[in-house]
Amino acid sequence: MTHEHQGGARGWSAARKGVWSRLRFTSLRLRLVVVFGLVALTAAVSASGIAYWLNRESVLTRTQDAVLRDFEREMQNRAGALPEHPTQDELQRAAGQMANSSQRFTVLLVAKDPDGRTVYGSSGGLNGFSLEDVPKSLRDAVTERQKITSANKYAHRMYWLRTVDEDTPYLVAGTRVIGGGPTGYMLKSLEPEAKDLNSLAWSLGIATALALIGSALLAHAAATTVLKPVQRLGVAARRLGEGKLDTRLRVSGTDELADLSHTFNKAAEALEKRVADMAARDEASRRFVADMSHELRTPLTAITAVTEVLEEELEFEGGGIDPMIEPAVRLVVSETRRLNDLVENLMEVTRFDAGTARLVLDDVDVADQITACIDARAWLDAVDLDAERGIHARLDPRRLDVILANLVGNALKHGGSPVRVAVREESGEDDEGAGDGGTVVIQVRDHGPGIPEEVLPHVFDRFYKASASRPRSEGSGLGLSIALENAHIHGGEITAANSPDGGAVFTLRLPRDVSARGSGEKTGDAGDEGAEGDA
């Protein structure tokens, strides 16, 4: 049950991450949905706003016109029938009759009685609609006498306005009877119309929300249709980047995406052909170098044997070589040794290129290994060693010897004495990826002029020589390249730099336990030792 629960939790987490990756803000899918949604929202809100405004004006205007017409008619029929100075009872009775019209509004009549006093008649009773409920601006406009002209035949006109009292809209109007008589005010509640408009607003809001949801669904469907070929193209591009050059896309349709898929297939096909041709040429080149090295090795063995005899004759005190040909013999001995080193280096390079180089691991004391390398080449007087015994590492002693011989030999040949070799160890916490065993750091520094800045990026290139004016030198141009390859096969690295105090510094970093890094301890013939050439 626990495993099933964990598996379900991991599946849910993976699904959530997948959904989030598809809906992240930088994705085309989300941007398409957002754009579609914004367009639909803008259109829906605009249409709903216009529809609400038009319906609102239509409803209010229609209700308002009907009420005002009815009020004006009642004023002429009911209030106009009253005497010029009616009594309180007459006004009250007329107001009640006017309120019973089809529009059901509240009426307030104001007039002067025969005694000159102001009397009121309200359809709402004494505590109902009063003059204080009428806005002062409306009262002033109603009582103001207008100038009679050809365009204005009456001294008084009807005025109206809409007010809101405690969230309830009202229509208030007022006028005087034409030809003299009481002044009438009307109050009409517009609450039913407001409820109808609120219902309309809710309906339009729901319609807008549905339109937004529908547009999002349509956008998602459209995005899926458009982005699915793009996603397939992305997957194919990643596979192509991983080296799967036979990757192709299925072409369907005649649109731009189909053209893009067709172009991708043509590019992948051309790339596969180009890489195959390059691989074939590279394989032929490696085979040629390997075959040439093996073919040269046989005659070189015989030549080396002869040159060793000649070298012994040169060193013989009795003088077995004619002094006239002694320089030529020494040149043959030197060039034979150089040619033998070059062949050995070429064979070592072909092993790295073919991937057949293997490590033969052993536990060694790094300080003892460096001392043995320097002593075997008679460099003890020219090299200062700063290495304490006790720093152990599990690595290939022969390949470490090749690395050290190349680095120290290069420093002695092209740098300046003294050459200093320092060893230290770093913990695994300080050096990321070094494994639990930590890292061994070996620095080889000379006191020469240093490496020119333009040469630094190329010191580990094969056959690269810093001085173009001296194309022929004792080195093969493969030494530092072989040293770097030997470091890489250990899972290490070599860097070159110039010291602030002068001279070049080569830094070798190797894991203390190569087998712990997954390289595996593989025994067997690792090939002959490469000579200590220079860059």
pLDDT at 137 over 80: yes
pLDDT at 151 over 70: no
Which helix (DSSP H) or strand (DSSP E) does residue 292 occupy?
helix 256-315
Global confidence as pTM? 0.47
Angstrom distance (rounded) from CA 433 to CA 510: 11
Mean predicted confidence (pLDDT) in 126-142? 78
The most confident of the ranges 76-80, 337-341, 406-410, 528-532 is: 406-410
pLDDT score, position 475: 57
Specify whether the CB–CB gap between 522 and 358 falls below 8 A: yes
pLDDT of 13 reads 56
pLDDT on residue 444: 92
Does residue 34 register a pLDDT over 80?
no
Terminal-residue alpha carbon distance, the chain: 63
* Mean pLDDT on 255-281: 85
Is 50 exceeded by the pLDDT of residue 353? yes
Highest mean pLDDT among 5-14, 122-131, 254-263: 254-263
Quick one: pLDDT band at residue 153, thresholds 50, 70, 90? low
pLDDT of residue 192: 82
- Residue scoring higher pLDDT (249 or 323): 249
**CB–CB of 107/130 below 8 Å?**
no
Residue 49, C-beta contacts closer than 8 angstroms, at least 6 positions apart: none
Q: Once rounded to an integer, what is the mean pLDDT over residues 157-186?
A: 83
Mean pLDDT, all residues of the chain: 77
Strand partners, 77: none
In this prediction, residue 510 carries a pLDDT of: 92
Which carries the bigger pLDDT value, residue 170 or residue 428? 170
* Predicted pLDDT at 441: 93
pLDDT at 3: 44
Distance, CA of 42 to CA of 275 (rounded, Å): 53
pLDDT score for 422: 92
Average pLDDT for 216-242: 80
Integer Cα distance of 239 and 306 in angstroms: 57
pLDDT given for residue 176 in this prediction: 83
Least confident piece of the model among 21-25, 75-79, 85-89, 229-233: 21-25
481, 523, 530 from 360: Cα distances, Å: 20, 5, 15
Percent of the chain with pLDDT over 70: 80
Query: What's the whole-number mean pLDDT along residues 122-143?
Result: 77
Q: Which has more pLDDT, 532 or 250?
A: 250
* Mean pLDDT across 259-265: 86
**Greatest Cα pair distance in the chain:** 170
Residue 510 phi/psi, 5-degree rounding, is -130, 140
Query: Greater confidence, 254 or 16?
Result: 254
Minimum mean pLDDT range among 48-52, 125-129, 493-497: 125-129
131-140, 415-424, 474-483: least confident range: 474-483
What is residue 509's predicted lDDT score, i.e. its pLDDT?
Answer: 92
pLDDT of 506 strictly over 90: yes
Q: Kindly tell me if the per-residue pLDDT of 294 is higher than 80.
A: no
pLDDT over 50 at 514, yes or no: yes
The type of residue at 79 is A
pLDDT of residue 75: 82
- Higher pLDDT pick, 267 / 476: 267
- In which band, very low, low, confident or very high, does the pLDDT at 26 lie, cut at 50, 70 and 90? low
pLDDT band at 360 (very low <50, low <70, confident <90, very high): confident
Phi-psi region of 13 (alpha: psi -120 to 50; beta: other; left: phi over 0): alpha
- Asked if residue 261 has pLDDT above 80, the reply is yes
